[in-house]
Structure 1
Amino acid sequence: MKTIILFFLIALALSACNSAQKEQIVSSKDYDKFLITSMKKHGTDLEQCNLTIKFWEEKLNQRQDGYIYYQKLADAFEERFELTGNGEDLMRVDSLLQKVLPYLNDKEKAADYLRLAQNAITQHQFKKAETYVNLAAETHYFVIPSKLVAFDVAMELGEYGKAAEILELFKEQEDFDILIRQSKFKDHEGDLPTAIALMEKAFELVKNNKSHPLYTWTLGNLGDMYGHAGEIKKSYEAFLKVLSQDPGYDHAWKGLAWMAYAHDGNTIAANRIIDSLFIKKSIPDLLWLKAELAGHKGDQGKRLKLLNEFCQIASEPEYGDMYNKYLILAYSEELRKPEKALQLAKKEVKNRPTPETYALLAWAYLHSGEKEKALAVIQQKVEGKSSEPEILYQAGIIYLINKKRERAKTLLAMAEESSFELGPLKEKKLVELSKEKNFDFMFAAEKPFPLP
C-alpha cells in the first residue's frame, strides 16, 4: 500500500511540475545568425563537392587503373553524404574502396579495411564491419586503431565482455581515442556522471583547436550527454558553441530542435529548425521528428502521413539497416503492422543481438498479441542489461500488460526520470499510467488496455 501511495504522490508532483510554466531556454536570438550562415555554407560546400566528384570521375574515365582516383572519389562521395544524407553515396564509397584493394600493399590495405569498417558501421552493417576489422588485424598494421574500431563493433554487436577486454589493454592511457570509448562504455553501464567526466577530459585535449572536426564532434556529444543528465542549459550552451564554429553541424541543430520541443514545448521553433535542415537533407529521421511534433500537437492525421512517408523512404535499399529501430516502432505502434515489425525485429536481433534489439523484439511480440513471449524476452535478454530510458519504458509496459504490477511501477518510475530524453509523448503516457494508482483499470477483461 505504501508503494502505491508513494507512486501516486510522485505522479501528482510530476503533473504539478508539467502544469507549471517551464523556463524557455531555446531562443531564436541565439541561433538565427548561425541558421542563415548554415544555409549559405551548405550551398557553397555542396557545389564544391559536386565539382570535385565531377573532376575525379573525369580522371577515372581517362585512366581506369588509377587507384588514387578511386580513393579521391570515395572521399568526395563521403563528404557529399555528410552534406545531403543520401544513402546511395555511402554505397558508392563502399564500392570504390573495394576497387582500390587490389592495388594496395598490406599497410595500405589495413587502412582501407578500417575505413570500410567505419562505413559499414554508419550503415548499421555491424557483422560486415567486424569482418573488415578482422582483415585489418591480419595485416599486423595499425594495431591500435584496429583494436579501437574492434571495440566500436563489439559495442554495436552487444559483445560487452570483448569490448571491456579491449579497453583493459589501454587502461593506463588517456589518449583522446581511448577516453571517448571509455566514456561510451560507462554510459552503457549506466554511469552517466563518469561518462560525462571522461568526455570532458577528452574535450580538454581538443578544445584549443576549434577548427578541428574533433572539437565540434566532442562538444556535440557533450551536448547530448548534458541533456540526458538533465543539465539542459549546459546542453544548450554546448550546442551553441558547436554552431559558432561550424554552423553546418546538423547534429547540434537536431539537439536544439529536440530541446525546443521536449523542454520548452515550442513546436513552432522545433519545426522551423527541422524544416531548415530538411532543405539541406531529405533524410528519414527528420520526418520521424516531424511526426513526433505532429503527435504532440494532437494532429494524428498528419502524424500518420509523416510516419508512412518515413517508412517508405527509410525502407529504401540505400539506407540498409540504418532505420530499422524506428521502422519497428512505427509498424508496431501507430501503423499497426505487427507482422512487419516482428519480421524486422527478428532480423535486427540476428544482426545485432543487444538489449536494445531484444527490447524491440519484445515490443513487436507485444503488439502482435503475444504478451507472454514479450515478457520472456524481456526477462531473459533485457532486464538488468541496460538503463536506457526507452528500454525501461518498453519493459515496464510489457510487465504491466502481463499483470506484473510492482515491477512495472519500478521500471516506469525509472523511465520517467529521463522524461526529457523520452520526449513529451511518452512522458504524457507515463503520467497517465501513474495516475491510475494500482492499474486495476487495465485488467478488466471487458476493457483491454490500449497499447501505447
Structure 2
Amino acid sequence: MKKTLIILSILAFFSACKENTEKSKSITNASDYNKYLTSENKSSYETALSEKDFWSKRLDADTTGVGDMGPLAGAYGKLFATTGDGQYLSNAETMYKKAMDISANNKDGYARGLARTYISQHRFKEAQELLEESYAGVSNKKETEFMLFDIYMETGNYEKANENLEKIKNNGDFNYLIRQAKWNDYNGELDAAIRNLEKAKEIAESRKSKPLKIWTYSNLGDFYGHAGRIEDAYQHYLMTLELEPDNAYAKKGIAWINYSYQKNTKEANRILDSILKNHKVPDYHLLKAEMAEFNNDTSEANNQKKAFIKTISEGNYGNMYNGYLIELYADTDPQKALKLAQMEIENRATPETYDLLAYAQLKAGQKEQALKTIKDHVVGKTFEPTAQYHTALIYKANGMNDAVTPLKEELEEAAFEIGPVVLKDVKNL
C-alpha cells in the first residue's frame, strides 16, 4: 500500500510539473493585441488610398505630368501591401512604364520602382534585365546595386549577389545591414543575421523612422522565431502593431505563435479571420487548412485548400503563388506540379525551386530522379527546413535511412518553424 502511495505521489508530482511546463509555454495574451484585430484598423490602407486619390487627381488635371506618375505608382504599391489585391500591382506597373516612356531625367528611379513591382509579381527575370540595363546607363549606382543584390538572391545568382554586397559594404548603413543579414541567413548563419538586423534596428530607432522600424521589427520577429526566441518574436510583432495597427504580417506572426507554439488553433483562426476582413491574400487559407489538418478535420482542410486555389484563380496574382501550388498539387496532381516546378526553375533557379521540383518528382513516382535533383541542386545549398524535410523524404524513398537520421534531428529542433503537422510527419520518418 505504501509503495502504491509513493508511486501515486511521484506521478502526481510529474503531472504537476508537466502542467506547469505547459502553462509556461503560454506566451501570447489576447489582451495585448485585441485592439489591433478590429475591422476599423485600416490606417495604412486609408493613407495609401488618400495618396492614390491625391496623385490621381493631379494626373487627371495634366495627363503629361510625369512627376505625378511615380508617386501614384508608389501609392498603388502601398495599396497592394495593405489589401493583397493583385490588381494594384498591375496599376503600379502601368504607371511606372508610362513614367519611363515620358521621363527625360529620372528613368532609373522609375526603373527601380518597376523592378520592385516585378519582384512583387515574381517576374524575376524581367526585373533583372531592367535593373542591369538601368545600371549600365546613367543611374544612381548605389541604389541600383542594392536592388541588384536583391534580384540576384531571388534568381539564385549568388556569386553576383556577393559581388554587389561587397560594392555596397558599409556597417553603418541600414540598407547594407539588412542585405548582409539576408546573406547570413542564406549561408545558415542565423545568429549573425540576427546581429545585423539588430544593428539595423538601432539605426531605424535613432532616425525615428517609422517605416524602417516597422520593417525591422516585423522581420526580427521572424528571425527570432527561427532561432527559438518565441517571446522576443512575439514582442517585436506587438511593437510592429503599435506603429502600424493594420500590419497583417505581424498579426499572422502572432497567429503562428498561437498555433505552432501554443497549439491554440481557435485563437490562431480568430486572428486570421480578423486579417481576412481587409487583407485577402490566398495563403491564409493554406494556414487554415494546416490547422484543420492538425485538428483532424479533413473536410475543413479540403475546403480551405479549395478556397486557396479559388482566390488565386479569381485574383490578379500571376505566378506569385506557384511555390504553394506545387506543394499542393504534388499530392493531388503530380504531373501538374512537375510542370509548374519547371516553370519556376525557368523563372528563378534557386535551391528552393529545385527542391520543389524534386518533391514533385518524388510524388510523381520518380524517386531516383528526385534524388539526383536533390544531390545536384539542393543539398548543402540551402538550410531551409522545408527543403531539409523534402530531402529526408527522398532519402527514405531511396532506402538511404542513415542519411535521414541527422536531417530528422535538425527538423525536430526547428519544430516551431515547421509547425505541428510537419513535425508529426518528421517523427514518423
TM-score after normalising by structure 1: 0.87
Please say if residues 210 and 245 of structure 1, whose CA atoms lie closer than 8 Å, have aligned partners that are also in contact: no
Measured at CA, do residues 353 and 17 of structure 1 come closer, stay the same or move farther in structure 2, by a change above 3 Å? Answer: farther
Residue 99 of structure 2 corresponds to residue 100 of structure 1: yes
| Contact 1:84 1:282 (8 Å CA) reproduced | yes
Q: Following the alignment from structure 1 to structure 2, what is the Cα–Cα distance between the partners of residues 50 and 189?
A: 39
1:63 maps to 2:68: no
Q: Does 1:25 align with 2:21?
A: no
Residues 119-169 of structure 1, C-alpha deviation per residue, up to 9 Å, x if partnerless?
111111111110121122123321011111000000001111111111122
Structure 1's 139 and 317: CA in aligned 2 closer, same or farther, altered over 3 A? farther
Could you tell me whether the CA contact under 8 Å between 1:111 and 1:136 is conserved in 2?
Answer: no
Shift of 1:246: 1.5
CA shift, 1:174, in A, is: 2.7
Verify: 1:400 aligned to 2:392, yes or no.
Answer: no
CA 1:391–1:212 in 2, change beyond 3 Å: closer, same or farther? Answer: same
Q: How far did 1:212 drift? A: 1.5
Does the CA-based 8 Å contact 2:82-2:247 persist in structure 1?
Answer: no
4+ residue runs of structure 1 moved beyond 6 angstroms? 16-20
The one-letter code matched in structure 1 to 2:382 is S
Alignment partner, residue 41 of structure 2: 41
1:298-317 deviation digits (Å, cap 9, x = unpaired): 11111111112212322456
Residues in 2 aligned to 1:263 and 1:321: alpha-carbon distance in whole angstroms: 31
Residues 223 and 235 in structure 1, CA contact (< 8 A), matched pair in contact too: yes
Q: Once superposed, what is the RMSD of the aligned Cα atoms?
A: 2.1
> Residues 408 and 200 of structure 1: is their aligned pair in 2 closer, same or farther, counting only changes over 3 Å?
same
In the TM superposition, 1:229-268 aligns within 5 A as 229-268=227-266
| Farther off after superposition, 176-185 or 244-253 | 244-253
Q: How does 1:158-307 map to 2 (within 5 A)?
A: 158-210=156-208, 212-307=210-305
Are the structure 2 counterparts of residues 141 and 52 from structure 1 closer, same or farther at C-alpha, using a change threshold of 3 Å?
closer
AA of the residue aligned to 2:198: E
The 5 Å alignment of 1:9-20 reads none
Which structure carries more relative contact order (alpha carbon 8 Å, separation 6+)?
1
Unaligned runs of 5+ in 2: 1-16
Q: Partners of 1:315 and 1:383 in 2: how far apart? A: 34
Task: Please give the secondary structure, in 1, of the residue aligned with 2:428.
Answer: helix
Contact 2:48 2:79 in 1 (8 A): yes
Instruction: Structure 1 unaligned segments of length 5 or more: list them.
Output: 1-15, 434-452
Identity over aligned pairs, percent: 37
Contact kept? 2:44, 2:244, Cα under 8 Å: no
Is residue 359–residue 390 contact of structure 2 (8 Å, CA) maintained in 1? Answer: yes
Cα displacement (A) at 1:230: 0.5
> What TM-score do the two structures reach when normalised by structure 2?
0.91
Cα distance in structure 1, aligned partners of 2:284 and 2:194: 27
- 1:350-389 to 2 correspondences below 5 Å: 350-389=346-385
What is the aligned partner in structure 2 of residue 151 from structure 1?
Answer: 149
Residues 86-116 of structure 1: CA deviation (Å, up to 9, x unaligned): 001101100111011122124x101111111
Q: Which amino acid aligns with 1:355?
A: P
Residue 72 of structure 2 aligns with an amino acid whose one-letter code is L
Aligned length: 412
Quickly say closer, same or farther: Cα 1:47–1:233, change in 2 above 3 A.
closer
- Residue 129 of structure 2 is matched in structure 1 by 131
Deviation at 1:288, TM superposition (A): 1.3
1:342 pairs with 2:338: yes
Contact 1:332 1:364 in 2 (8 A): yes
Q: 1:191 to 1:46 in 2, by over 3 A?
A: closer
Instruction: Tell me the distance in 1 between the aligned counterparts of 2:31 and 2:50.
Output: 35
